[in-house]
Amino acid sequence: YFGLIRGAAMTGVAVAALTAGAAQAQTVMRINVSMPQDGHHGIAIDTFAEQVESLTDGRYQIETFYAGSLGAERESIEGVQLGTLELTFTSTGPVPNFVPELSILDIPFLFRDYEHARGVLDSEIGDELLGRFEAHGIKGLAWADNGFRHMTNDIRPIASPSDLDGLKMRTMESPVHIAAYREFGILPTPMAFPEVFAALQQGVVDGQENPLSVIESNNFDEVQQYLSMTGHVFSPCVFLMNLDMWNQLSEEDQGHFVTAAQAGAEANRARVDADEETAIESMRADGMEIIEDVDRDIFIEALAAVNAQFEEQFGAEEVAAIRDWQ
């Protein structure tokens, strides 16, 4: 009985392969981002698309979509899980809705700097975390960067956590962020990214937090007076693919997709580095007031209670393995 079923399934696969071969079919897949094309997400998927096409000699064509035109990040991950979208490149903000334990990466002040964050994500720890998507119908192809997050608002300059008291800030849909920001005295308002500019403009929220690359490429300086270099959270990005579609690729093509995603991550990180060099001066020239001198230790101290809670939730050893990574 089982032999028969297996036989039948193999016939199905063989027929599909023959059909594809006979037609010299080109498979078209889509990938999207919530950011504009000219930016650190756009360059990631543009590079990925180019690389997939060239490594597979055009057997796979990747169509690229920008600025949330195929949906916000949470909807996109859902699409990839269901198979209504083949691929997405997203920040990990909405990821805990799908793979809760990946929220460990959202813990504030977990990473010292870019070298630390990239080192962990590219290490065995990062590989193991990337593998966690598979139990949820998603293949994680490669980690990349969104960047270190900083706070902007339109009410007052923020130099210490007491300045945050009562500020209404848009946050990502991450329970860890929400718990930590509450501890700062912020009133967190989770919201999908494509709605943020209008919410800031109309004063629905007082502020938001994002990496410099995001703040600048989305012109948040036009609707926010103050930027504080809090660097309170490192925000990863990740290339995701529908798991069934991944499983349908030949082993060789799987290798090409991973190589292409890694090339996309490299281009993305180079753009993040470039933005870190230029964004502050350019936004200051546009009239934004930038508070660079932020004492991060006071912010870290303010999170002592919630950090203990995170260690309980994710395991003190797991948190320490990331925090103390050299």
The residues binding ligand EAX (CB under 6 A) are 34-35, 73, 91, 93, 146, 172, 193, 210, 214, 235
d(CA 262, CA 304): 36
Contact 231, 209 (CB under 8 A): no
Smallest distance, ligand EAX to C-beta of residue 94, A: 8
Smallest distance, ligand EAX to C-beta of residue 268, A: 11
Smallest distance, ligand EAX to C-beta of residue 73, A: 6
Contact 78, 290 (CB under 8 A): no
Nearer to ligand EAX, 60 or 73 (CB): 73
For 71, how many CA atoms within 13 A lie in the half-sphere containing its CB? 17
Nearer to ligand EAX, 224 or 235 (CB): 235
Contact 29, 63 (CB under 8 A): yes
Nearer to ligand EAX, 55 or 121 (CB): 121
Contact 161, 302 (CB under 8 A): yes
Smallest distance, ligand EAX to C-beta of residue 100, A: 18
Nearer to ligand EAX, 35 or 120 (CB): 35
What phi, psi does 36 have (nearest 5°)?
A: -65, 160
Nearer to ligand EAX, 55 or 77 (CB): 77
Residue carrying the six token digits 């909807």 = 75
Smallest distance, ligand EAX to C-beta of residue 90, A: 6
Question: What are the strands, taking DSSP E only, across 154-245?
Answer: 168-171, 187-190, 207-210, 226-242
d(CA 45, CA 141): 12
Nearer to ligand EAX, 56 or 146 (CB): 146
Smallest distance, ligand EAX to C-beta of residue 84, A: 20
Nearer to ligand EAX, 138 or 172 (CB): 172
Smallest distance, ligand EAX to C-beta of residue 105, A: 13
Smallest distance, ligand EAX to C-beta of residue 146, A: 5
Nearer to ligand EAX, 172 or 283 (CB): 172
3-state helix, strand, coil in the chain (%, to 5): 55, 20, 25
CA 145 to centroid of chain Cα atoms? 7
d(CA 222, CA 229): 18
Contact 125, 277 (CB under 8 A): no
Residues 6+ apart with CB under 8 A from 102: 92, 95, 96, 129, 132
